[in-house]
Amino acid sequence: MLCIDHPHTEAYFNLALEEYLLKNKEENIFMLWRNNNAIIVGKHQNTLAEINTENVKEREIKVVRRLTGGGAVYHDLGNLNFTFIMGYDEDQAQIDFKKYTQPIIDVMADLGIKAEFSGRNDLLIDGKKFSGNAEHIYHQKKRVLHHGTLLFASEITDISNALNVNPLKFEGKAMKSVRSRVTNISSHLPQPLSVEEFRTKVMAHIVATNADTKPYQLDTEELNAVQELATEKYETWDWNYGYSPKYGLKNGIKTEGGHVEVHFNVAKGLISGVNIYGDFFVNKDIDSLKEALVGVAHREAAIEEKLTQMEAASYFNNISVQDLVKAFF
């Protein structure tokens, strides 16, 4: 088993690294890694329905879609992530959360903490979640990617603020994340421990309990290949937002010109139909404006560009383009 203690904390790169290792390595792999201020959404989720867009923009939080299903999670440097990439036989259960979370439960026990597996994919301490897990099957090479979070000393308030979304805004088939009561591992330790010391203990446990482990570092060629994948996929709006399933959004804002409420549908990241309601006054019929927005990406810059091009402010009395853009998010 290759054991990778990965030092980089850039979210786009790290999610690309997982995919690269899954698809380009034959060996079993265990990896520890961290991301700095990022929201990682499940492969099949509607990204905008999972994030507090204003908080994300203000704090410059990176938003990245991962290969695995499950719900959205917030990463900061107080959170340690672990990844197993393993081969499987046809007669084995391909999805097996308990298999890959048991080593973490064992590490917790060694530290004097009783942890338990619960529900579909969570690890709990005293009924509170400290680890969420997800898996992806790569059938082409019969390999499983399992990864999980380990909240060690994360900023719990930051997690809540970044993932706090108005549940009435969105309509769609994508399953929203269920928010759980969370806790930090560090709060339950009988003796203080730093995140780096905890990281060392997790890796030491994996090495001690698995045969033929060896440390591994990616070479320059591999790092360049991962960066290329990050640039071409994991940094793109098309993957992180446009990949979202069909959804509808209803949102209202107050402006100096009155209340504006926007209802619209999105498919493959593009607006497919728009209605604009409110108690505002118009200078001319807004039907042409609504029609012009069909086919525009549900992306702040794209909507602002189209509204500016259409001189949208001239349609309304005392409502600016910037006001209208806010209504779409």
pLDDT at 164: 77
pLDDT at 174: 56
**pTM for this one?**
0.82
pLDDT at 91: 63
pLDDT at 180: 66
Strand partners, 182: 129
- Laid out side by side, the sheet with 270-278 consists of 170-172, 247-255, 258-267, 270-278
- Give backbone dihedrals phi and psi of 150, rounded to 5 degrees, phi first: -135, 95
| Distance separating alpha carbons of residues 142 and 94, to the nearest angstrom | 9
pLDDT at 179: 58
pLDDT at 88: 85
Cβ atoms within 10 Å, residue 48: 21
List domains and CATH numbers for the chain. Answer: 2-242 (3.30.930.10), 247-327 (3.30.390.50)
Give helix 220-229 / helix 11-24 axis angle, nearest 10°: 110
| Distance separating alpha carbons of residues 280 and 319, to the nearest angstrom | 8
pLDDT at 245: 87
**Widest distance between CA atoms in the chain:** 75
In angstroms, what CA-CA distances link 243 with 13, 111, 247, 276?
A: 19, 41, 11, 25
pLDDT at 70: 87
| Distance separating alpha carbons of residues 109 and 97, to the nearest angstrom | 18
In angstroms, what CA-CA distances link 90 with 158, 183, 275?
A: 42, 37, 51
| Distance separating alpha carbons of residues 195 and 152, to the nearest angstrom | 7
| Distance separating alpha carbons of residues 279 and 78, to the nearest angstrom | 47
pLDDT at 89: 77
> Which residues of the chain have a pLDDT value below 50?
none
In angstroms, what CA-CA distances link 115 with 102, 109, 190, 305?
A: 10, 7, 14, 51
Q: Which of 102, 113, 108, 111 is nearest to 146 (CA)?
A: 102
Q: 3-class DSSP state for residue 249?
A: strand
Q: Which of 133, 45, 38 is nearest to 83 (CA)?
A: 133
Tokens 């099957």 correspond to: 137
